[in-house]
Structure 1
Amino acid sequence: MTATPQRRLRVVGIADTDSYVKWAAALLAALDPEDWEVELLVLDTPVVVSEQQQRAALAGTGLERVMRVTFAALGTRLARQPPDAVLIAARGPLVRVVARLVAGLAPRPVLVSGLPGISVPATRKSLVYRTQCDLFVLHSRREVREFAALARSRGLSQRFALTRLPFAARSPARTGDRPEAGGFGPDRPVLADPPVPGATTAAGRARTCTDLVFAAQAIVPRDRADRRRLAELLVRAARADPSRRVVLKLRASAGEHQTHAEADPLTDLVASLGPRPANLVFSTAPMATALDSAEGLVTVSSTAAIEAVARGIPVIALDTFGVSARLINEVFQGSGLYGGEEDVVARRFRHPSPAWLRDNYFHDAADDDVAVLLSALIARRREGRLAAKPPLRRTGGALRDAWERKLVLGDRDRTVGGAVAGAIGMPVRGAVRALQRTRAAARRSMRLSRAA
């Protein structure tokens, strides 16, 4: 008697912005196709990826089933072919809205969410927005440890899964893990070796790998004066060696949206400084492509630093603006990657300490447990042993739900409830924000007067 083949587990990803589409696609593509059937739905929101951004985000994943969908059609689309699990890859407010919709499906799928990049320090908002999710995906031992501690301290129930960032799935090709010499040991940071023409070993990168790649971030740093200083640094670095390129790697072309809105684009600030050096170039190519010709990467706190380390490319984590939760660069403490503006101009790139690597994004791949935990949760759901997690309790009822939906969908929400909530909520929101700005200005003025 022939055994009935076991049905593959079906997982549907839902994502909208550039970073989340890239993250969701890579996570889904990493699941064994013999055991998992995967599909990615790109949700139409005001910040949805452009077609060009989508192509870049999907590059190299091999995903075949990718479709665009509206929120209005999402429930019907999922019900037509019920998934065992849904990966909601989006900013927190959108996760909350989509989770509420998906949780109403019958049968209810397992709800999964997570964060697509560096997630230290752990934040309460990240947990609260994902309250209804059964599994929260993180990417380092440190992240799991810090989020679990925060959840316990706030009385929030959550399960955490560990997996390497999709583009950090391989071990770093070159780190400080080499015999002690010149004062460097296996747990000490190592300055990158100078490039050796034609070399492709740890002694140097190939002759063509001479680019200084700067990974731009939309809101890090946030202040215009700091962003202008970054622009000035890029110009200085380009003029310091006209024979080598400085590549400003952008997340989006003009008019395209990003996960976070960028108030002061670096391209505009560079243009404001006068004629641009010929070797200072702008690129919207995928990060993997930009790194193909990189001598080293510079960033404040972009996850591109982890991608570079995974490929053995040295990094400078720019600490010109300090080290803080607001800059999302506390994670590099102990790595040996911090450097200042003169290090950037001189191209003094670094490799991280192996001790830091083990706790931050480069743990043993055998410790990854997303597939195992997800399979177990699906089995429990089928057996009726997985209790549905309720949304966070709050006041407002259906009107509050409509307001939250309107906030994330904007003009894509054409429901009557959304129109009513917007008519009531938008003026109130504007007044609250104006009051907050006034109070913030008053606090700044008070600090300045005290300093004087």
Structure 2
Amino acid sequence: MPVSSPTPLRVAVLADSDTRWKWGALTARRIAPESTVHGYLLWGRATPTERQLAEIGADADELREVSAADFLADLGKRAHGAADEAFDVLVLACVGGTIQAMLHGLARAWRTAERRPVVVTGYVGVVYEKLPDGLLLRHGADLVLANSRYDARRFRAVYEGVRADSGAVTECALPFLDGRAYDPGPARRGERPFRVVFAVQPSVPATRKDRAYLLDRAMEHARRFPDREVVLKLRSKPSEHTTHIEELPYQRLLERAKDEQPPNFRLAYGNMGEVLDETDLLVTVSSTAALESLHRSVPTAVLSDLGIREQLGNHYFIGSGCFASWDELDAGYLPEPESEWLADQGIATSHEHAFATARGRLAGLLDQRRQSGLLPLAPYYTVRTAPGYLPGVLARHGLDVKGEPKAGHQESGPDQAGMRAASRRLLRRTARGAYRAGVQRVAPLIRRWGQL
């Protein structure tokens, strides 16, 4: 049921990486159509660059970079200020620890506000590890979105298993499952080459040996099929970070193998949806791109070459019918997905249907907000339930156990401008560059020295 309001809803989205910004901004558009979206990019190692933001294809009416202190100060000010400045909905699209810190910080900032926003959170993709940890860090939001029927069952089971309220869990779908259905006609008619896209991931697999193996197999597939085009779909450039740290970019591995690169093998960046428009076979280890391709009925292969292991995340696809090795793909095998598995994952479902429940729940919460106000945020983790864990989570964002800024923690304020703001942006870019250089160049070298 669509959200009804005399004026467009004002939705704020806080994100800490490119993929989480994509999820948060698109989720805001799905659950609150016709809303205005105000984006906050949390500064850190994975703050997206302008190129990454342009590639994502998720826009905002306003977008700026902030610290945690900036964000909490601004949201607190808006909730107590003029009605036309207040937000109706807040989407927290961050890592679990950041979400928990923001929930506690916002609970403190809004403790005397009459009309706080509805708080929404969830996961950017498939949830294949650290399920209890991540879920309990998200507890306290008004809506915890589950991207499928399967996830909704698991989320409720975790909350109920620790005597936490599971009422916030709301089934929907990944907001970027979109695009036109696969058409094999152009490749069959020879209008373009049959295109195989290998969607790589920043952190899976982790070792140089395994990543070099996958790169070699992709190039070997191109050699075996000179009439095909094999595309290595990259998430980021070596100077950029995504949600996960990439210590061994495929671009650097390819530099060493450039003399072996076949002419029908190439690299690609860009929006995944646009790449899928002309893809005939999507190959990956465990990327969420597999769900996007399955949603469009593109033949999809989840590689089993390195095993089916929790460490790789490909165990999530057990039952999908999509597992295949490069040897099998070289022999012409195309996996056929299992329809029951697809349905349980919320794949091939229209957005109107998939987000109907979330829109209805949001509408009810907004009515409650207008009539009597929402209850205070109440995360599961408190100094009583997790006295040895919560303080550390909050301290990483400069908060004490009451959600207040710690003594000596500098709040820059949301309205900083001029030379001071420009200097801060330059310092942030320099710090990010130094961090990325350390992760991608220095750290691997030190590890190799340690193995001598």
The TM-score range, normalised by the shorter chain, is 0.7 to 0.9
Query: 2:284 maps to what in 1?
Result: 299
Query: Which of 130, 155, 160 is 2:169 aligned to?
Result: 160
SS in 1 for 2:40: strand
Within the candidate set 74, 77, 84, 2:74 is matched to: 77
Q: Give 2:208's match in structure 1, choosing from 209, 213, 224.
A: 224
381, 387, 398: which is aligned to 1:395? 387
Which one of 340, 351, 364 corresponds to residue 376 of structure 1?
364
Deviation of the 1:213 alpha carbon: 0.6
1:280 to partner: Cα distance: 2.1
Secondary structure at 2:152 match in 1: helix
1:309–1:388 Cα change, 3 Å:
same
CA-CA distance at 1:341 after TM superposition: 1.4
Output the CA distance in 1 between the equivalents of 2:61 and 2:161: 42
1:257 maps to: 241
Residues 70-127 of structure 1: CA deviation (Å, up to 9, x unaligned): 3332234333322122111011122222222222333332221110111246711111
Match of 1:267 among 216, 230, 251: 251
How far 1:173 sits from its partner (Å)? 5.4
Q: Is the 8 A contact 1:144 1:160 kept in 2?
A: yes
Residue matched to 2:104: 100
SS at match of 1:103: helix
Conserved? CA contact 2:195–2:278, under 8 Å: yes
Q: RMSD of aligned C-alpha atoms?
A: 3.0
Quote how far apart the aligned CAs of 1:256 are: 0.4
| Fraction of identical pairs, as percent | 29
Of 324, 330, 334, the residue aligned with 2:319 is: 334
Q: Distance in 2 between matches of 1:400 and 1:122?
A: 18
Shift of residue 209 of structure 1? 5.4
Matched positions, count = 382
Q: Deviations over 1:151-170 (max 9, x none)?
A: 22233333211222122247
SS in 2 for 1:258: coil
2:193, 2:229 within 8 Å by CA — same for their partners in 1?
no
For residues 119 and 205 of structure 1, the distance between their equivalents in structure 2, rounded to whole angstroms, comes to 39
- Name the SS for the 2:91 alignment partner: strand
- Report the AA paired with residue 358 of structure 2: V
Q: Which is bigger in relative contact order (C-alpha 8 A, separation at least 6)?
A: 2
- Using the alignment, how far apart are the partners of 1:238 and 1:301 within structure 2? 21
CA contact (8 A) 2:173 2:346 kept: yes
**What TM-score, normalized by structure 1, do the two folds share?**
0.76
The aligned residue for residue 408 of structure 2 is 416
* Matches of 1:255 and 1:131, distance apart in 2: 34
Checking the alignment, whether the CA contact within 8 Å between 2:19 and 2:124 is kept in structure 1 is yes
Which residue of structure 2 lines up, in the alignment, with residue 15 of structure 1?
15
Give the CA deviation at 1:416.
Answer: 3.1
Q: Please tell me the residue identity of whatever aligns with 2:15.
A: A
Q: What's the offset of the Cα at 1:42?
A: 1.9
For 2:258 and 2:221, how far apart are their aligned partners in 1? 15
Q: Aligned equivalents of 1:151 and 1:171: distance in 2?
A: 37
Can you list the C-alpha shifts for 1:399-449, whole angstroms capped at 9, x where unaligned? 746632169xxxxx998348xxxxxxxxxxxxxxxxxxxxxxxxxxxxxxx
C-alpha distance in 1 between matches for 2:153 and 2:314: 18
User: Quick check: 157-166 or 67-76, which moved more?
Assistant: 67-76
Residue 91 of structure 2 is aligned with which of 83, 87, 90?
Answer: 87
User: Which structure 1 segments of 5+ residues have no match?
Assistant: 175-194, 408-412, 419-452
* Secondary structure, aligned partner of 2:206: coil
Matched AA of 1:354: S
Cα distance, 1:282–1:141 mapped onto 2, change above 3 Å: same
Cα pair distance change 1:266/1:344, threshold 3 Å: farther
Amino acid at match of 1:301: S
Residues 136-184 of structure 1: CA distance to partner in whole angstroms, max 9, x if unpaired? 112111111112112222333332112221222479658xxxxxxxxxx
Query: Is the Cα contact below 8 Å between 1:216 and 1:248 reproduced in 2?
Result: yes
**Which digits, 9 at most, give the CA deviation of each residue in 1:197-219, with x for residues without a partner?**
x46xxxx5873252211111112
Q: Whole-Å Cα distance in 1 between the matches of residues 376 and 69 of structure 2? A: 27
Distance 2:317 2:205 in 1: 16
Q: 1:173 to 1:272 in 2, by over 3 A?
A: closer
Secondary structure of the 1:168 match is: coil
Please give the secondary structure, in 1, of the residue aligned with 2:134: helix
Distance 1:206 1:25 in 2: 38
The TM-score normalised by the length of structure 2 is 0.76
Letter in 2 for 1:163: C
Structure 2: 5+ residue stretches without partners: 79-84, 400-404, 411-452
| Structure 1 range deviating more: 98-107 or 122-131 | 98-107
Residue aligned with 2:232, SS: strand
Instruction: Give the alignment of 1:280-319 within 5 angstroms.
Output: 280-319=265-304
